[in-house]
């Protein structure tokens, strides 16, 4: 009988590994995380790009509540010019979930504070740099599908 090894793939926010997919065209390169992933299997995704948003793009925030309220149709995502970009954020979350399922992802390390990837705190919708507790839309959808979601600050003690 052949024994197959189960490979656990970790999903990573693309900007944490240096892809210039942030709203301002930059990245959030995390060299510690890169070192940590050296001997691991991982896949990267940027939900906002997967949702069809351009780079660079206007910054966006969840108006009230968090990703759960957006997925439940009770809140919206707006950019700093007041444009409603909710559907792009939801599409990006769903596309990211598809990738996670394709690679049998059980764990994700996503960028904190983002309206897509944030998973402990997100910006509060005022565009004043203030935070509130909660998850971004992609982080919430992954959690609802049984994936453990961490961020660049807390993955080491949890994975
Ligand atoms: S959506 Fe996520 S991966 Fe894309 S730039 Fe924002 S934090 Fe990074």
**How deeply is 151 buried, as exposed, middle or buried, from its count of CB atoms within 10 A (0-12, 13-18, 19+)?**
buried
Spatial neighbors of 3 by CB under 8 A, at least 6 apart, are none
- Across the range 13-24, mean pLDDT stands at 98
116 lines ligand 1 (CB under 6 A): yes
How does pLDDT run across 53-105, given as a tens digit for each residue? Answer: 999 999 999 999 999 999 999 999 999 999 999 999 999 999 999 999 999 99
149 lines ligand 1 (CB under 6 A): no
Of all protein residues, the one whose alpha carbon is nearest to atom 8 of ligand 1 is 15
Distance CA 142, CA 138 (A): 6
96 lines ligand 1 (CB under 6 A): no
Q: What are phi and psi of 94, to 5 degrees?
A: -65, -40
Instruction: Write down the pLDDT at residue 8.
Output: 85
Ligand 1 site-directed mutation target among 10, 14, 59, most atoms within 8 Å of CB:
14
Residue 118 or 3, more confident:
118
Query: Is 24's pLDDT higher than 70?
Result: yes
Residue 122, classed as helix, strand or coil, is: strand
- Across the range 13-17, mean pLDDT stands at 98
- Across the range 127-134, mean pLDDT stands at 97
Instruction: Write down the pLDDT at residue 157.
Output: 85
Q: Tell me what the pLDDT averaged over the chain comes to.
A: 96
Residue 6 or 69, more confident:
69
Cβ atoms of 129 and 121 closer than 8 Å: no
The Å distance, Cα 48 to ligand 1 centre, comes to 6
136 lines ligand 1 (CB under 6 A): no
114 lines ligand 1 (CB under 6 A): yes
- Across the range 14-43, mean pLDDT stands at 97
13 lines ligand 1 (CB under 6 A): yes
How does pLDDT run across 33-67, given as a tens digit for each residue? Answer: 999 999 999 999 999 999 999 999 999 999 999 99
Query: Is 4's pLDDT higher than 70?
Result: no
Ligand 1 site-directed mutation target among 10, 11, 13, most atoms within 8 Å of CB:
13
- Across the range 113-134, mean pLDDT stands at 97
């Amino acid at each position: 009988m052949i024994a197959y090894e189960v490979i656990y793939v970790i999903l990573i926010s693309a900007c944490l590994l240096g892809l210039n997919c942030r709203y301002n065209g930059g990245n959030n390169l995390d060299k510690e995380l890169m070192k940590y992933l050296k001997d691991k299997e991982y896949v990267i995704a940027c939900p906002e790009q997967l949702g069809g948003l351009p780079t660079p793009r206007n910054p966006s925030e969840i108006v009230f509540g968090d990703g759960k309220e957006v997925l439940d149709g009770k809140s919206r995502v707006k950019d700093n010019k007041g444009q409603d970009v909710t559907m792009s954020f939801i599409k990006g979350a769903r596309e990211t979930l598809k990738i996670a399922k394709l690679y049998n992802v059980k764990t994700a390390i996503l960028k904190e504070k983002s309206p897509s990837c944030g998973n402990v705190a997100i910006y509060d919708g005022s565009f004043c740099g203030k935070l509130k507790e909660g998850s971004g839309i992609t982080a919430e959808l992954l959690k609802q599908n049984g994936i453990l979601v961490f961020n660049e600050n807390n993955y080491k003690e949890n994975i």
